[in-house]
Amino acid sequence: MSMSLFLSVPLILSLIYDENHLAFLLPAVLSFPLGFLLFELTESSAKLTLKEAFLIVSLGWFIASFIGAIPYLFYHFSFVDALFESTSGFTGTGASIIENLEVQPKSLLFWRSFEQWIGGMGIIVLFIAILPKLSVGGRQLFAAEAPGIDVEKVRPRIRDTAKILWKIYIFFSISLLIALIFEGMPFYDAFIHTFSTMGTGGFSSKNESIGFYSPLIQYTITLFMFIASTNFILHYKALRGRFGAYLRDEEFRFYLILGLISIIIITVSIFPEVGNLKEAIRLSSFQAISIMSATGFATADFDSWSWLPKLILFYLMFMGGSANSTAGGIKAVRILLILKYCLREIRKTIHPSAISSIRLNGRVVDEKIINTVVSFFLLYIFLFLTSSLILTSFGYDLITSFSASITCISNVGPGLGLVGPAENFAFLHPIAKLTLVFCMIAGRLELLPLLMILYPGFWKE
Amino acid sequence: MSMSLFLSVPLILSLIYDENHLAFLLPAVLSFPLGFLLFELTESSAKLTLKEAFLIVSLGWFIASFIGAIPYLFYHFSFVDALFESTSGFTGTGASIIENLEVQPKSLLFWRSFEQWIGGMGIIVLFIAILPKLSVGGRQLFAAEAPGIDVEKVRPRIRDTAKILWKIYIFFSISLLIALIFEGMPFYDAFIHTFSTMGTGGFSSKNESIGFYSPLIQYTITLFMFIASTNFILHYKALRGRFGAYLRDEEFRFYLILGLISIIIITVSIFPEVGNLKEAIRLSSFQAISIMSATGFATADFDSWSWLPKLILFYLMFMGGSANSTAGGIKAVRILLILKYCLREIRKTIHPSAISSIRLNGRVVDEKIINTVVSFFLLYIFLFLTSSLILTSFGYDLITSFSASITCISNVGPGLGLVGPAENFAFLHPIAKLTLVFCMIAGRLELLPLLMILYPGFWKE
């Protein structure tokens, strides 16, 4: 039913710009009764079982992507292409099959970016309020301090948490929108890029992406990509006056330091070619933060860079942003916990009798959560390896297959090689595209809800 | 002191072939008093501490590689190149910096392969008798049934275990030697290739590697590469009449099935190009087993194959062979345990209250060992990523950097791209070569002994 509401925005735009309004009218009209039907069918059940919750989370994203794909079908997109583009939108990936953006209808490009912003709203709630309850990938640990969740109460208020976080999301979105308009970006473009930035999506309305705009705009978007990929619980604390919350958080420090190291290495690597230190810093910080935050905007064709900066960007694609943000990827806090897990094992081998626990922000982390985090990482790698294998079976080279897989699983957008930032995903075989559609949703939902419904044991009993 | 004895074999050869015998005489004479000195210095200490054991294991391989490098210095090899070749020998890697093998002195090529066979003897004892006591990477689990180890006794007989396993190693070596000579391989070549096969090394005396010889010889070596990469404890059981031990072992079945699947996919992939099913099967089985067993011989330039078979070989480079064999890599049993660990996590998320333990060969595996195995895997990946980063910083492409790193860590030999089977490692920057020397030894010792002495906490107290 919300979809129906969301679709009315591009519908109005299509009327203003005199474009095909049936493209939005049809799904808007279709989704309302569909939603109402689902609502009526499920309302009676007093309490969700764990399995039902997983099923709803997984199917929800698929259904949204399907409905969101309908407008594209009106513009000569094949079904697979429409689904790819729509899924890329809702999952905040930003991988595209559109070759020339600047000839596309304005209402469609608006919808594309709007999907990413809507997806961002969905993912914040999913990450902070829903997945922690399902114990997915250690989420219960990362969301422990979520606002509105009162541990003393039997029934934690998901609704309250969602409202608080959405307010923060909207606050930053409006701030960015005003900043972009103030910095000279046209009104329409400002909306498009605000949506894509805050949803860490990466869809642009320009073929040159953010490279089209002024350096000031580039730095503004760099900052907001970083904000969108930072833990929203920290934003919540900061907005209530506790600015120290950022630097007191171990994940934030780790994320910041990794970002700075990456920017320094990339700057040094591309400096000889760029020839201008200021520009080298601007390009490297934009690209590094764009990939780390899993946004995927570009101000340079980083695929033409030398191998060291490319490999760093490739590594960053795995990590992605912080927990409890709109960013995709394994998340900085999980990488941090895994490094601690490895160091502990080295310590244990030296001192077999010593008992050592892993701490995060000064508190001991439960071993069960550690195991969940580690297996999440392993499943992530496993999905990456499998997807790459499927892609190479269509003859695509290793760099293309590897980077297309990880950029979709981590919801980044551009990859390397044939799917580099100056290229697109149009040339891929339909089955390869469907594989990546699966990867985008699997990555977005943090694997387990989707892997679970594929696991035979799920359907027993 | 054993080195002195070993070096006398190529010394005799150099006299027979009238080649530079000083190349072997000098290290043979040098290593005896050095060994005697070390023996005298350390003999007094009644009981080794854990730290001393780690230090001896790590330094032992380095010292052997240094002494083994001396002969190469007599033949216009740079110091780094000599060390690379010698380390590649002792670690059973088989990566080479020699561009044209067929013009090299016979005694040197003999020494090169002999180093791999000696390394194989060392590694069997290390894997089955020493690392399990140091609890490295779950080794205590894999060596639980090692012959000669009597759990009832306070002091397990390492010496007895070593003797039994060496007998098996020598038994298979002699069998292969006789088979090769019987199948028409010249006497000298048969020795060279027996040493390299049983040590799962991969050094050949021919530029075409095993592709130079008849299909019969190729199949014989395929079989013995498989034997050398199979758990020697199973061979021990089989040689005592318990042939069922192979198929009763979960790791063996897993290793066999993965091998067969790989061979089938590769055969199907290369068939259109090869045009002959029989030849496609021969080429794919040789290459798959050569990489899986971490030997690294070649009968085809697989780098010229399409991407799917190349990616499969790339994946196999990570796994390597079975535990308790001369093969390198993560080992099949660890991959199996990691898959079980991931599946358990999916089950746990569906049924949070269910307690499920991981079993291997019907017995419950201790959670501590699971953690050790998982962190071993993670450290392995971490070393791979770091080494690749160092290599790309010298400008080498991603395929070359990735495959050179993993082929050295897993002690395989050839990689893809610039280090493919038709190429060699000569062109690499000296620092890149030293990085790979480190990788070869780290991989051979299963990381922890080496990582441990690099860990600052090791040197405290």
- Higher-pLDDT residue of B155 and A201 is A201
Give the model's pLDDT for residue B46: 62
Residue B342 has pLDDT above 50, yes or no: yes
Nearest CA in chain B to A451: B346
Give the model's pLDDT for residue B154: 42
Mutate one of A266, A307, A344, A396 to test the B interface: name it (highest B CB count within 10 A).
A307
pLDDT digits (tens, 9 = 90+) for A209-266: 999 999 999 999 999 999 999 999 999 999 999 999 999 999 999 999 999 999 999 9
Give, to the nearest 10 degrees, the angle between helix B215-228 and helix B277-292: 30
Residue B177 has pLDDT above 50, yes or no: yes
CA distance B75 to B63: 20
ipTM: 0.94
Facing residue for B345 by CB, picked from A348, A371, A395: A371
Nearest CA in chain B to A379: B342
The answer to whether residue A399 neighbours chain B at the CB level (below 8 Å) is yes
Q: Which of B308, B314, B326, B321 is nearest to B259 (CA)?
A: B321
Residue A13 has pLDDT above 60, yes or no: yes
- One DSSP character per residue, B99-130 reads S-GGGS-HHHHHHHHHHHHHHHHHHHHIIIII
Q: Can you tell me the mean pLDDT for B57-71? A: 91
pLDDT digits (tens, 9 = 90+) for B362-412: 999 999 899 999 999 999 999 999 999 999 999 999 999 999 999 999 999
Token representation of residue A387: 């997807």
Nearest CA in chain B to A270: B393
Give the model's pLDDT for residue B156: 54
Give the model's pLDDT for residue A455: 80
Give, to the nearest 10 degrees, the angle between helix B187-198 and helix B158-182: 140
Residue A361 has pLDDT above 50, yes or no: yes
The answer to whether residue A15 neighbours chain B at the CB level (below 8 Å) is no
Buried b (16+ CB within 10 A) or exposed e, B248-278: ebbbbebbbebbeebbebbbebbbeebeeee
Binning pLDDT at 50, 70 and 90, where does residue B79 land? very high
Residue A48 has pLDDT above 90, yes or no: no
Give the model's pLDDT for residue A149: 53
Token representation of residue B56: 């001896």
Q: What is the sign, positive or negative, of the torsion defined by CA atoms of B274, B280, B286, B291?
A: positive
Phi first, then psi: give them for residue B354, nearest 5 degrees: -70, 135
Measured in angstroms, the CA of A339 and the nearest CA of chain B are apart by 9
Q: Report which residue type is found at B269.
A: S
Query: Of A37-41, B62-66, B218-222, where does mean pLDDT reach its minimum?
Result: A37-41
pLDDT digits (tens, 9 = 90+) for B183-194: 999 999 999 999
Residue B139 has pLDDT above 70, yes or no: yes
The answer to whether residue A230 neighbours chain B at the CB level (below 8 Å) is no
pLDDT digits (tens, 9 = 90+) for B250-276: 999 999 999 999 999 999 999 999 999
Residue B153 has pLDDT above 70, yes or no: no
Euclidean distance between the first and the last CA atom of chain B, given in angstroms as a whole number: 32
Instruction: Measure the CA dihedral B173/B256/B344/A454, to 10°.
Output: 160
Detail the DSSP E strand segments found in B218-361. 359-360
Which residue in the block uniquely carries the two structure tokens 């995927």? Answer: A296
> Mean pLDDT, chain B, as a whole number?
91
The answer to whether the pTM exceeds 0.90 is yes
Which chain B positions have a beta carbon within 8 Å of A381's beta carbon?
381
Query: Of A114-118, A140-144, B407-411, where does mean pLDDT reach its minimum?
Result: A140-144
Residue B179 has pLDDT above 80, yes or no: yes
- Higher-pLDDT residue of B348 and A429 is A429
What are the CA-CA distances from residue A28 to residues A6, A31, A83, A210, A216 (Å)?
8, 6, 17, 31, 38
Binning pLDDT at 50, 70 and 90, where does residue A156 land? low
pLDDT digits (tens, 9 = 90+) for B24-52: 999 999 998 988 888 887 766 567 777 77
Counting one residue from A and one from B, how many pairs have CB atoms under 8 Å apart?
131
Token representation of residue B155: 């002091």
The answer to whether residue A134 neighbours chain B at the CB level (below 8 Å) is yes
Give the model's pLDDT for residue B44: 60
Instruction: Measure the CA dihedral B35/B40/B41/B43, to 10°.
Output: 110
Q: Show the DSSP H helices in B355-425 as ranges.
A: 367-392, 398-409
Of chain B residues 442-461, which have a CB less than 8 A from chain A?
A: 448, 451-452, 455, 457-458
Q: What is the DSSP letter of B355?
A: -
**A275: helix, strand or coil:** coil
The answer to whether residue B66 neighbours chain A at the CB level (below 8 Å) is no
Which residue in the block uniquely carries the two structure tokens 């000296």? Answer: B430
Binning pLDDT at 50, 70 and 90, where does residue B461 land? low
Q: Do B398 and A399 touch (CB under 8 A)?
A: yes
Nearest CA in chain B to A397: B307
Q: Which of A116, A85, A91, A281 is nearest to A197 (CA)?
A: A116
Facing residue for A342 by CB, picked from B375, B401, B457: B375
Give the model's pLDDT for residue B395: 95
Q: Can you tell me the mean pLDDT for B65-93? A: 95
